[in-house]
Structure 1
Amino acid sequence: MALPWALAVLTLLPLLDAQSLACAKFRAAPLTDATLDRLSGKWFYIATASRNPEYSEVAQLLQAAFFYLTPNSAEDTIQLREYPTIGNQCLYESSILNVHRESRTISKQTGREHVGNVILTEDPRTFMLLYFPDDEKNMALSFYADKPEVTQEQLSEFYEAIKCKGLDKLEIIYIDQKKDQCGPLEKQHEEERKKTNEEPQEDAEQG
């Protein structure tokens, strides 16, 4: 009886090795300065596959969301400016993320600490965040892009990551950027920032 079992294992080994190699790219990325530079800028929240009840609840409430990341490599922090739309209202929030290079994690304090792993995709215009990587019952994987709409090719990499992490496509919660209500506030903030940046230059010219 041992021989057929052994033959079955040997037959499956190449398949397991191939799958391991395919999934290796979805490991937590090293948080180097280059990684932080890649994360810098404006991003749109596209979807989440979540088994964590709290994260699923938030994802279901979100109608649309985009955010800005401004890394500070010297201090290992990232300024996060979020523009989520919930209940047809824009709920703006600014906070600081802490970068933990040794553990390859990024964390945020909101009464308690939320910790995520950055997963870099082959397409530099997208990335993912993985939460609770060692907890199958609470694992969550979120997908972000630099445009409000993504291509099938970009989504396919998200689906591949979901499969590699043992999640299911049926667990995905999508949001619709067409329901965004934060555009006017974003425009106001950009005008205020532009005005603030121009004032020192005007003062120097007057001086």
Structure 2
Amino acid sequence: MLASLALLLGLPLALATEPPSCAPLVPVTFDDATVPRLLGQWTYIAGASRYPPHLEELKAVKHAVFSFFPGSHEDELNVTESMRLNETCVMRNNSKIHVFRHNSTLVHVDDQVFSMAELIQSDKDLLILKHFNTTILGLSLSARTPNVSKEHLEEFKAHLHCLGFTEDDVFFTSEKEACPLPREKTGEGDAEPQLL
């Protein structure tokens, strides 16, 4: 009897210490306002993935800024990217994002490499993408500015936790690693970014 009483009294305490349940990530349903909202410049902040090619890229990206521009039709975006991959600054302006409104999916095409993602509902100045390749998931965070609020970062970390990622799985970029703009030199030995 004493054991069952202790069990009953301890049960609310045990339930109170359990982590909060994870709400499913809610993708944005694409409409006529979605694509224009994506246009402009974004700063890549952080990402996590278990897909080996993406994981290698996440480890190499030290800083990245990218911009979306209207493409040749309404469901296509042109992408320009400026990034530091390890010690090398790279500029790309030859990739595209295809928007599939029927399933609210974005497909990034770069040198015949395809990456699929869903835009997750969040603040208008955040770009949280759930990347998927077959059954392997990843999550990335970009923002309109190089810095995000503590609340936005906690939101992203909560999403990562719900997908089974730990803090050790997350790779962050640093504003200190930003590449100089073309023709901008910051000191001796700085080279102009390579155009790919």
Determine if the alignment matches structure 1 residue 176 to structure 2 residue 174: yes
Q: What letter matches 2:78 in structure 1? A: Q
Q: Pairwise CA RMSD of aligned residues?
A: 2.6
1:14-29 equivalences under 5 Å are 19=21, 23-24=23-24, 26-29=25-28
1:133 Cα offset (Å): 7.4
Alpha carbons of structure 1 residues 180 and 30: separation in structure 2 relative to 1, 3 Å: same
Q: What letter matches 1:99 in structure 2? A: V
Instruction: Figure out how many residues of one structure are paired with residues of the other and give that number.
Output: 167
TM-score (norm 2): 0.75
1:23-102 equivalences under 5 Å are 23-24=23-24, 26-71=25-70, 75-94=74-93, 95-102=95-102
1:169 Cα offset (Å): 2.4
Alpha carbons of structure 1 residues 184 and 73: separation in structure 2 relative to 1, 3 Å: closer
Q: What letter matches 2:99 in structure 1? A: V
Structure 1 equivalent of residue 159 of structure 2: 161
- Equivalent residues of 1:127, 1:143 under 8 A apart: yes
**Which structure has greater strand proportion?**
2
Distance 1:167 1:66 in 2: 24
Alpha carbons of structure 1 residues 168 and 68: separation in structure 2 relative to 1, 3 Å: same
Q: Structure 2 unaligned runs (5+)?
A: 1-10, 185-196
Q: Give deviations 1:87-127, integer Å, cap 9, x for gaps.
A: 33321111221111112111122323211111131x22112
Q: Structure 1 unaligned runs (5+)?
A: 1-7, 187-207
Q: What letter matches 2:86 in structure 1? A: G
Q: What letter matches 2:112 in structure 1? A: G
SS of the residue corresponding to residue 102 of structure 2 reads coil
Alpha carbons of structure 1 residues 147 and 80: separation in structure 2 relative to 1, 3 Å: same
Distance 1:93 1:139 in 2: 25
- Equivalent residues of 1:45, 1:66 under 8 A apart: yes
Structure 2 equivalent of residue 3 of structure 1: none
TM-score (norm 1): 0.71
